[in-house]
Chains A and B, each alone.
Chain A
Amino acid sequence: MDSDDEFMSGLSSQDEDFGGVEESDDGSLGDEFDEDNPDVGFSQDKDIKPGKKAYEVDFKAFSPEDIQSHQDKQIDEVSAILGQSSEATAILLRHLRWNKERLIEAYMERPDSVLETAGLGPESAQAPTTKVVKGFTCEICYDDIPGLETYALKCGHRYCVDCYRQYLAQKIKDEGEAARIQCPTNGCHRIVDAKSLDLLVAAELKSRYQVLLTRTYVDDKENLKWCPAPNCEYAVECGVKKRDLGKIVPTVACACKHRFCFGCTLSDHQPAPCLPVKQWLKKCEDDSETANWISANTKECPKCSSTIEKNGGCNHMTCRKCKHEFCWMCMGLWSEHGTSWYNCNRFEERSGLDGRDAQAKSRQSLERYLHYYNRYANHEQSAKLDKDLYNKTERKMTGLQLTSGMSWIEVQFLDTASQALQTCRQTLKWTYAFAYYLQRNNMTEIFEDNQKDLEMAVENLSEMFEKPTAELAALKVDMMDKTSYCNKRRVILLDYTAQKLKTGEWKFNVDIAMGA
């Protein structure tokens, strides 16, 4: 069972031997053994739980409840140290963007000024209550009827409860504020604390307030990010800092299974670092459609470089703009062509060479871009097609259970294979954006070999999905081998790329350091 589970998780089991699922206890036993005896030195390399790969980062996903309890825990902890109520501590922590150490240090040095700047004056410990004050006129609504309920924060600025309520509703609902709502008085920076808020607002606003407070907790922490998947309420914790993003591509996986980059919150884009990814996406948006068409249908006039569309069969071209006459095939002067109008066989002639040279120079960058873009787009497209297949996989799995009498667990290999395909295509896609920004050296060749190997492995696996369901049962072992091989190739590619990224050995033709 254990090894089945591990195999199904696919991505974490890349180091397994082919067909590891068949020998159902092998791998996992080894793991357990090592874990139970961490100090034993004789374990064999291949059985050691794989160490962290260069492209892997530590991360953890948290539910909204986790986040809440984290906040509460930190508040309790700091509250005990500062000797402040938990409401006041919460305000102080939010004020200093949850930097505990800085808060404690600053508070120990000059408590009064810390309290003051956070909007807390000298503290008195009683619970907040509303009050009727004789002869009171509310400065907001000018109501002065006797018996009017009023409220004031510790700053003493008193307003009627109705106005207070409306004010808080406005802030929470319309302005989305929570942690830093101040007293309604102009210029008073006293913060409305959670207890006062609890006393004053309706239940439905309280939950909105809690949501907003939790939001600010995650937003304020550099090591926490919301999972960008639609409707996902989890946050992921990761220690990678913004300044490291030129050295590592921190892909994390949320509890909802969404894999995203912790640096930029886009979908997983390993091996390419965030900044080139951003530039690439921008470039594709700007260039792709026009560039595609231009490259497929036009050339530039070798003399004036205006773009010419060839729409007939004859190679004798006359530029509409500068009247330059040339051959479409070889780009050379037409006058040197004699009468071989439809068969250009003078590819090596001087003028043609020059023409092509100029052409080449101005087109080089476009051609280069298209080379990478087409492959990038191809994998994106293929991933979509594979995804369609993936959706059909379930049907295939049911079919397979019926035709071959295999159990549900025994047909899981199809699902595993589908997932591997998706992940590998995602990686492949980004290898092309990565390569586009890469300067050539010896390492790029190794990179391209890795890329080619992964590409072949992926296409081989992808092909198998097109086989009729009836044949799949017989192909199980083969398919599992291929799946495992794909994952293995992906790990090799990513690991190599990430190592060289860490050591700064890749040379890019763009800036890859964030905020540089």
Chain B
Amino acid sequence: MSALPKRIVKETERLMAEPVPGISAVPHEDNLRYFDVMIHGPSQSPYESGVFKLELFLPDDYPMTPPKIRFLTKIYHPNIDKLGRICLDVLKSNWSPALQIRTILLSIQALLGAPNPDDPLANDVAQRWKEDEQAAIQTAREWTRQYAMA
């Protein structure tokens, strides 16, 4: 494999040296562009106390194009679909090469704290979120207990 760009090396070093509280990202030994990610559910959210596994991959033209990320833990959220794909502006049109893995992971953690049912990826979940927010939050809590707690 070709040499890892300096940008990725530096970012990885910094992620290791100064980890973000509640977030970890560790590259695979055999593929340094592929990270195992853990995000703690934000407090005061239905995902509180859950630990969510994600995977992250830095494509060839990173950082000109955004990293690819998805949830590996089942999660009930209007902006995350059944396959763990995430609908988040900074992962698409609002990506900027000056953003980093760490900032993106923080945005995802923030998304858990502030679901946006008006810009849904999982339509059925969003629908429920709008019709009966309390029930939806309850389901999100149950799923967190069932899938995101060891």
Contacts and interface: CB of A to CB of B under 8 A. Distances in A.
Q: Do chains A and B touch in the complex (CB under 8 A)?
A: yes
B6 A141 contact: yes
The DSSP consensus for interface residues of chain B is loop
Contacts of B10: 142
Contacts of B63: 140-141
A92 B69 CA distance: 36
Contacts of B5: 141
A163 B97 CA distance: 9
Interface string A390-415: 00000000000000000000000000
B97 A142 contact: no
Interface centre among A157, A163, A167, A186, by most chain B C-beta atoms within 10 angstroms, is A186
Interface in A455-486: none
B65 interface: yes
A186 B96 contact: yes
Contacts of B97: 140, 163, 167, 184
B7 A186 contact: no
Interface residues of A, number: 15
Chain B's interface size range is: 10 to 19
A137 to B, nearest CB: 9
Contact of A142 (B7, B61, B64): B7
A167 B64 contact: yes
B6 A140 contact: no
B134 interface: no
Contacts of A143: 6
B43 interface: no
A141 B97 CA distance: 9
Interface centre among B9, B65, B97, B103, by most chain A C-beta atoms within 10 angstroms, is B97
A298 interface: no
A166 interface: yes
Contacts of B64: 166-167, 170
A142 B10 CA distance: 7
B13 to A, nearest CB: 10
B65 A140 contact: no
A143 B8 CA distance: 11
Contacts of A77: none
A69 to B, nearest CB: 32
Given A140-B63, A142-B11, A170-B65, 16 more contacts: A139-B98, A140-B98, A141-B6, A141-B7, A141-B63, A142-B10, A157-B98, A167-B97, A170-B64, A184-B97, A185-B96, A185-B98, A186-B94, A186-B96, A186-B98, A187-B96
Q: Which 9 A-B pairs have the closest CB atoms?
A: A186-B96, A142-B10, A170-B64, A140-B97, A142-B6, A142-B7, A186-B99, A185-B98, A141-B7
Interface of B: 5-7, 9-11, 61, 63-65, 90, 94, 96-99, 103
Interface of A: 139-143, 157, 159, 163, 166-167, 170, 184-187
